[in-house]
Amino acid sequence: MNKIINLNGKAVELAKIKAIPVIDYYNMKYKINQIKIELTSRTGYILNPTSKEYELQTIKDVLIVENPDRDAAIRN
């Protein structure tokens, strides 16, 4: 079993982490008290509502961990 850590109530398997990018201050999509964690891609079957058939697609998971303030984000 791989190591699992707890980040503010969210369980994250360390082996599944692809990247923790540094978010620049020019990108206003994320606040400075958030940590963005990109997980490795996985494949899964998703129902296409138009054709009513299941299609194999690549799923890219991203986890945003909220922290109470900037200092807590840096510590985590």
CA 74/CA 35 separation, integer angstroms: 9
Contacts of 38 by beta carbon, 8 Å cutoff, 6+ apart: 17, 18, 19, 20, 21, 60, 61, 62, 63
3-state SS class at 32 = coil
In one-letter notation, the amino acid at residue 23 is I
User: Which pTM does this prediction carry?
Assistant: 0.59
pLDDT in tens, 7-54: 767 787 888 888 877 655 445 555 667 778 888 888 999 999 999 999
